[in-house]
Amino acid sequence: MESSPFEQLRHFFLSHPAAQKATKPLSNRACVNVEFISSSLLEIKQCHFIKEKDSVSLQPQFHEKPDFTLRMTPQAVNIITQLNTDNVGEFGIVFFGRVISQNSEDKVEIKINSGFLNLITKNYIGVLAVGGPSVMAWLARKGVSGIGTIKAVIKKLAGS
């Protein structure tokens, strides 16, 4: 039997080397809600990722004060969690590729629920740094070239 998107993400964040490297720079209390779209009514439809006491967990309900909310299709979860590399840059490219995807079947939507200062304080920018030159070069090719551009993108997403 195939795992649910929730179980796929839980396994990914707890055991995948790229996920563990990517979440390492995050501050405690960094929190992201995830809503699964087009899932079976029998599956968990929402959850949150949170970092506490220097470890991460995925809980099967929304958090009341997330930094972000991600809306993910089961296909997007599949693509991200089946990544066969421990390279955080490759993971970042695959993730951001889902964000800009025009295909509704494998899309990830992001809504910012927090202010820019909070995102900096919780070190989400540090996750980009762990991705290294490959993810930064990919983002630059897409028009995201510095902290000012990142801030503009965040403001645009927060308005959505």
pLDDT tens column, 34-62: 999 875 555 668 999 999 988 999 999 99
Give residue limits of the domains in the chain. 5-158
Compute the half-sphere exposure of residue 24: CA atoms within 13 Å on the CB side of its CA.
12
pTM score of the predicted model: 0.85
Q: Which of 14-28, 49-63, 139-153 has the lowest mean pLDDT?
A: 139-153
**CB atoms < 10 A from the CB of 81, how many?**
18
The CATH homologous superfamily to which domain 5-158 belongs is: SCP2 sterol-binding domain (3.30.1050.10)
